[in-house]
Structure 1
Amino acid sequence: MSKVASTHFGEVELNHGRDHNLATVHQLSGKPVELDLSIKAHDHFDEAGMHKVDYRLRFLPELVDEVREMIATELEEEGTAPRQYRDFHCCELAPEKLQEIFGVEDTKDLTNKVFLNALKLGHVGIFPGDPERYFVLDFTLGSHFTDEVLVASADQDGVVDDEIEWTS
């Protein structure tokens, strides 16, 4: 089996003929983010594919900013997943939870901006065998608060899908 060095994942085995998942923690703006690289047995994943993953990860900050802008826009619209997620997770919170999660003491101070600041990128799944959902980004209010996330995906060229989903 041949191996290739990855900036983010260390030594990666190529042409392994079985499902292969690699996990690491990456610092993004000083915050830890879990990265998972999922290679399926039938994927043609070679040295160029690994270099593409490392190259695309250089643009992760811009991708995150774009998704955050989309979430901000959707928070203003009724019926969107980000709006429903916010409304569900922010209703009837005890003052100590408001302070802990959002840094405010009263629900009237829980604006979209405050909510968006509390929403963090917690996980990025990378699927080189799926060019349409190459990156899958999970945003959370924190695993200590909820196991539900807002999910956005981007294709192999870094183009973000226009649909943000709410899932657990």
Structure 2
Amino acid sequence: METAVSRHFGEIALTPAGQRVISGRYDHDGVPVDLDLSFGEHDRMDESCIHKVDYRLRFLPELIEAARERITLDLGDSESPAVEYRHFHCQNLNDGKIRELFGVETQDAVDDAAFVRALRLTRVGIFPGQPERYFVLDFTLGEGFTDEVLVAAADEDGVVDDEVSWD
């Protein structure tokens, strides 16, 4: 069986077809982030595809920053999923939890910048067969605090969608 070696996913068996998810890790600012490389039933998985994924992951820091910028923009729209997520997760926190999560003293001090800074990237889904939704980034306020995420997606060129969702 033919294989390809990925910097982020290790040795990968190249199969002709079939749905498959391959797990990997990415170190972002000293914090490990889970990677899920997903192939659909009819997606082509070959060595060039794997090398393309590794190449595009070189630009993940810029993509993460662009996703954070998109979330910040969405916080300006009172009906956006980012605002709903923030409101839902912050409405009943005491000052101690506010300090722990956001690094500020009171709920009133949780401005857009403090909120976005508190978001942690927990997972990046990579979908080589979907060029318009190649990357899917999951941000959370922290494991143990919530299992819900804000989701930002980007195309294969790293252009972030103009829509962030709450999942």
- Sort the TM-score into its range (normalised by shorter chain): over 0.9
Of stretches 118-127 and 35-44 in structure 1, the one that deviates more from structure 2 is 35-44
Unaligned runs of 5+ in 2: none
Partner of 2:107: 107
Partner of 2:60: 60
TM-score by length of 2: 0.94
Of stretches 46-55 and 107-116 in structure 1, the one that deviates more from structure 2 is 107-116
Contact 2:25 2:33 in 1 (8 A): yes
Q: 2:162 is paired with a residue of what secondary structure? A: coil
Deviations 1:27-86 (A, max 9, x none): 112221111111223211111100110010001011111111111111122111111111
Query: How do 1:1-168 and structure 2 match up within 5 A?
Result: 1-167=1-167
Aligned residues: 167
C-alpha distance in 2, partners of 1:56/1:73? 25
Aligned residues: percent identity?
52
Structure 1 stretches of at least 4 aligned residues deviating more than 3 Å after TM superposition: none
Q: 1:129 is paired with a residue of what secondary structure? A: coil
Unaligned runs of 5+ in 1: none
Deviations 1:87-129 (A, max 9, x none): 1111021222212211223112211111111011110001111
C-alpha distance in 2, partners of 1:26/1:108? 34
C-alpha distance in 2, partners of 1:45/1:24? 16
Contact 2:140 2:150 in 1 (8 A): yes
C-alpha distance in 2, partners of 1:11/1:159? 29
Q: What's the offset of the Cα at 1:16?
A: 4.4
Contact 2:6 2:51 in 1 (8 A): yes
